[in-house]
Amino acid sequence: MIVTVILVGLLIALLIFYAVRAWRELPAESAVSTLGSDEPPELLLPTHFCYYSQIRQALARADREYLARRATPAVRRRWEAERRKVVRGFLAGLKEDYVRLERLGRTVASLSPELSQELERERLWLGLRFRFWYGVLWLAPLGSRWTLRLLDRTTNLVGSIADRTAAAITAIGEATNRPA
C-alpha cells in the first residue's frame, strides 16, 4: 500500500512538472522556423565558452597564494565567495550550451519522418549522464585539480561544437526554406 502511495505521489509531481512545461514549451516547428528565418541563429549556438580565459584567470592558484599571504581572513572569504559565484555562473552557461545542442538534436528528430532508435536512445542516455556528472562537478571543491581540468577540456570541446552546430543550423534552415 505504502509503495503505491509513494508511486502515486511521484506521478503527481511528474504530472505537475509536465503540465507546467506543456504550457510554456516553444513548439518544435517554431524553433525550426526560427532557424529558417532571418533571425540570428544564436539561439542554438554555444556562446558561454568564449568567456573561459577570464574564468581561468579567476581560478589562478597564484591569486589565492598571494591573498593567503597578504589579505585579511574577511577579505579572503569575500573573494572566495565572489569567485565561486562567477565560476558557477560559467558552469551554468556551459550547461546551457549543452542543452542547446541537445535541443537541436531533438528538434531535428521530431520533424524527421524516420528516426533511428539507436541514436535516440544514445542521446537520451548521454543527456542523463551529462546531468549526473555535471551535478557531481557542481559540488566539487572550487579551485581543485578536477575543476580546473574540467573547465579546460569542457570549454575547448564546447568551442569546437559551435562550428559544427552552425553548419547543422545552416543545413536545417535550407531544408525548411525549401518549397515542398
Partner 1 sequence: MATALSPIDYVLWVLSSLLQAVFFLLLVWARLYRRLPFFSFYMLIVLLSNATVWWTYHVYGYTSSISFSLSWVLQALTLAARGMAVGELCHRVLNPYRGVWALAWRLLSGVTLLLVVYAGLAAYSSRHDYVLTFIQTAEGGLELAAAVLLLLLLAISHYYRIRLPAPERLLIVSLCAWSLVQVLNDVAWQVWADDYFEWARKIRMLSYQAAVLVWIYAVRRPVPAEQPQPAMNAALYNRVAPEVNLRLQALNDRLLEIFKA
Q: Give the footprint of partner 1 on residues 97-116 (CB under 8 A).
A: 98, 101-116
Q: Does 159 interact with partner 1 (rule: CB under 8 A)?
A: no
Closest CA to 107 of 41, 154, 163, 11: 41
Shortest Cβ distance from residue 58 to partner 1 (Å)?
Answer: 19
CA 97, CA 43: separation in Å to the nearest integer?
10
- Minimum Å gap between C-beta 59 and partner 1 is 14
Cα–Cα dist 101/115, whole Å: 18
CA-CA distance, 150 to 75, in Å (whole number)? 27
Size of the site for partner 1 (CB under 8 A): 71
Work out whether 127 is an interface residue with partner 1 (CB under 8 A).
Answer: yes
Query: Is 32 in contact with 111 (CB distance < 8 Å)?
Result: yes
Work out which of 43, 58, 137, 166 binds partner 1, going by CB under 8 A.
Answer: 137
Name the minimum Å distance from CB 78 to partner 1: 28
Contact positions with partner 1 (CB under 8 A) in 5-64: 5, 7-8, 11-12, 14-15, 18-19, 21-23, 25-33
